[in-house]
């Protein structure tokens, strides 16, 4: 487990600007893994990249933070070195961190439901590139099983605990009454972008508007949305069933006058501070939510999630213990294999001394009997090794078995032949 390591930045340690510069898409993550394998000789890697974090997990006897960051800087064309901004973990610390990230414990929004799917996608990218080795496979499957337990046994995922996700839930409930609804998202800063991501797959036409059109085009391409015309803002608002405003403005840019010609029922959500939608729109039959109202809804869910946190940590600790037992058993499995081979060689040598005068039936009986003896002889050492693993004393027993049966010589002898 000590050879498992990670480097990473997140919303806790790096600005949005830097996080954007080191973001990976599926194609770029795969290309980076291939490059890391070629340059650094790595054969096991996971690249996790979201709007809130970029983290690279890998297996190596060496800590390769500087080398990986340099490779990443080149990959992304960064002019300034990024290494000083990246955390560096190894062993149990790195493993525990991935558990907490994947389960939403380390998320900006506690219990974030998206992150587990994002980890699954990263795992698939690794598998596609043959960069998911035995340990990574076992670790990720353990994490996904732990996530299932968290969902079933705790309230960590209950309710909606961020203004962006509350907004998405309100929108999804509201548009259920319409056959072909249109959703307009105005402003694609971090919160506007998060709402857009939370609406991915919704059965509606989603139009995105931003002062910088290129940003709207990039997001629309990524999520399958339509780019609206910022210069025709009033028309865009009037033809939408839902308007989400996350644009920075000194004064409201949407008022009752903006809606003078609208004919559609409307839900409006104002995520801007200062507010960008004037309260007067409610006189036009609009259902309006502001940030304070959304946060009240989110806070209630967040309280339940925080109360569930101790139970979640307990489940993580149980899974970590099981993973550690498995990893320790994997460390002694070569010794078990060597011992089995050594005993098998003895069995075959002794068998060969008595085969010449025996019938086929007698040979079959003798072969079966001696194999049974070997299995019984092996049983106790294997059980003792596994028990020693749990006590953290396997190394001593491995040395004893090596000395008693000369296993190292047996292994090197086979290699030499």
CA distance 147 to 246: 32
Burial class (CB in 10 A: 0-12, 13-18, 19+), 80: exposed
* Alpha carbons 49 and 72: distance in angstroms, whole number: 13
CA distance 298 to 159: 8
| Distance, CA of 10 to CA of 50 (rounded, Å) | 9
- Parallel/antiparallel/unpaired status of strands 242-245 and 182-186: parallel
Neighbours of 124 (CB within 10 A): 13
- Name the burial class of residue 3, with classes exposed (0-12), middle (13-18) and buried (19+) by CB atoms within 10 angstroms of its CB: middle
How far apart are alpha carbons 63 and 65 in whole angstroms?
6
Candidates 38, 73, 41; CA nearest to 54 is 73
Active site residue 51: yes
187: closest CA among 297, 287, 276?
Answer: 276
User: What is the C-alpha separation between 55 and 57, in angstroms, rounded?
Assistant: 7
Provide the β-strand partners of residue 54.
9, 49
Secondary structure of residue 94 in the 3-state scheme = helix
**Rounded alpha-carbon distances, angstroms, from residue 353 to 112, 290, 339, 363:** 68, 89, 22, 12
Radius of gyration of the chain (CA): 30
| 192 DSSP assignment | H
Which is the catalytic residue, given 51, 69, 299, 389? 51
Query: Strand, helix or coil at 174?
Result: helix
Give yes or no for a contact between 97 and 89, defined as CB atoms under 8 angstroms apart: yes
Catalytic residues: 51
């Amino acid at each position: 487990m000590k050879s498992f390591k990670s480097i990473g930045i997140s919303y806790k340690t790096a600005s949005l600007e830097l996080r954007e510069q080191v973001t990976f898409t599926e194609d770029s993550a795969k290309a980076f893994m291939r490059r890391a394998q070629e340059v650094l000789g790595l054969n096991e890697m996971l690249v996790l990249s979201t709007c809130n974090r970029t983290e690279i997990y890998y297996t190596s006897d060496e800590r390769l933070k500087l080398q990986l960051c340099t490779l990443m800087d080149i990959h992304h064309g960064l002019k300034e070195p990024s290494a000083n901004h990246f955390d560096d973990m190894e062993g149990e610390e790195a493993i525990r961190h991935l558990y907490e990230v994947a389960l939403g414990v380390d998320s900006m929004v506690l219990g974030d439901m998206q992150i587990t799917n994002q980890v699954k996608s990263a795992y698939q990218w690794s598998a596609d590139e043959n960069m998911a080795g035995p340990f990574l496979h076992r670790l990720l499957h353990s994490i996904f099983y732990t996530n299932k337990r968290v969902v079933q046994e705790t309230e960590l995922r209950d309710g909606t605990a961020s203004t962006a996700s509350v907004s998405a839930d309100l929108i999804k409930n509201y548009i259920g009454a319409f056959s072909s609804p249109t959703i307009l998202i105005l402003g694609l800063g971090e919160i506007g972008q998060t709402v857009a991501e939370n609406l991915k797959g919704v059965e509606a036409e989603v139009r995105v508007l931003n002062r910088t059109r290129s940003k709207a085009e990039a997001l629309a391409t990524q999520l399958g949305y339509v780019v609206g015309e910022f210069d025709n803002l009033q028309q865009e608002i009037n033809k939408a069933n839902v308007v989400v405003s996350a644009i920075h403005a000194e004064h409201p840019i949407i008022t009752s006058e903006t809606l003078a010609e609208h004919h559609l029922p409307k839900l409006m959500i104002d995520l801007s501070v200062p507010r960008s939608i004037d309260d007067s729109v409610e006189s036009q039959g609009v259902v309006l939510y502001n940030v304070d109202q959304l946060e009240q809804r989110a806070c209630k869910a967040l309280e339940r999630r925080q109360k569930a946190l101790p139970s979640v940590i307990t489940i993580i600790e149980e899974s970590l213990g099981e993973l550690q037992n498995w990893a320790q058993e994997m460390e002694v499995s070569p010794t078990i294999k060597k011992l089995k081979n050594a005993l098998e060689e003895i069995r075959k040598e002794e068998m060969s001394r008595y085969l010449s005068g025996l019938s086929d039936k007698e040979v079959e009986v003798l072969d079966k009997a001696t194999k049974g003896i070997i299995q019984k002889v092996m049983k106790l050492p294997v059980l003792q090794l596994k028990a020693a693993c749990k006590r953290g004393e396997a190394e001593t027993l491995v040395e004893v078995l090596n000395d008693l049966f000369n296993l190292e010589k047996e292994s090197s002898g086979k290699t030499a032949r």
